[in-house]
Amino acid sequence: MTWLVVVAALLLVVVVLAVPSRRARERLAGRRPAIRFDVPRIRAGWIVAGPPWRAALGTAGVAAGPALLAGGPVGALVAATYAALAGRAWARRAEHRRRAAQRAGSLDALCALVADLRAGIPPSVVADGGGIHRDARLNRLTTAVWRLADQTGAPAADLLERIEADARAEDRAAASAAAQAAGTQATAAMLAVLPVGGIGLGYLIGADPVHVLLRTPLGAGCTVLAVLLQCCGLGWSEWIAQGAGR
């Protein structure tokens, strides 16, 4: 009965922290909410599609409940840790794809901007659509080009074309660095999965490694230490990959 209460409390914490109510969303948006009562609802994919911290918290809470019943506190800790790492990685990958799509859209808009200027459209008309970039750096550079062209009469089309070429060259360099760092990430993922092979080998020789690792003091200590070392190794490999990308 105690375990059921703990599981229910964990799931309630996840729902309260990860899924804000409608009134909370209205307060964050700056609107004054009406007086009403509603129940938070979990939408499919909402937790994983959010920020990395919310994805890690949500997946950890979801995985910890069943693992607590099946493997005790140590099993819940292991399941929550691995689920948090997987949810965070999923959310970061989705965020990276979203930012890449926004970056590509900004560069396409910049290219269209240059084409309009080359076609002879008045700069004042083109400038009205110059703030459509979602990339902050491109926005700053485009604004500086308009200011420079207005004050000195410099050719805005040439400057914008150079900005676009520089941005695309930067993206190609970042993609090349990420491809070179993919080997490090693949090695880290393979090393993270190796303990599963060790557990399977233990069953093949007639032992019960899961019981030892989750139900005995020495095994629990080894399990917690192994999870901590794996988290440090994954974090180190991620830091190396990010450094290569920069």
Q: Global pTM?
A: 0.65
How is residue 213 written in tokens? 């690792």
User: DSSP code of 133?
Assistant: -
d(CA 42, CA 40): 7
Neighbouring CB atoms inside 10 A of 13's CB total 12
d(CA 60, CA 87): 8
- Average pLDDT of each block of 10 consecutive residues along the chain (246 residues)? 49 53 53 45 51 81 86 89 88 87 86 84 55 70 83 84 89 84 78 83 88 91 91 82 62
pLDDT at 224: 93
How is residue 43 written in tokens? 């939408």
d(CA 192, CA 56): 18
pLDDT at 225: 93
Of the candidates 59, 52, 137, 167, the residue with the CA atom closest to the CA atom of residue 98: 52
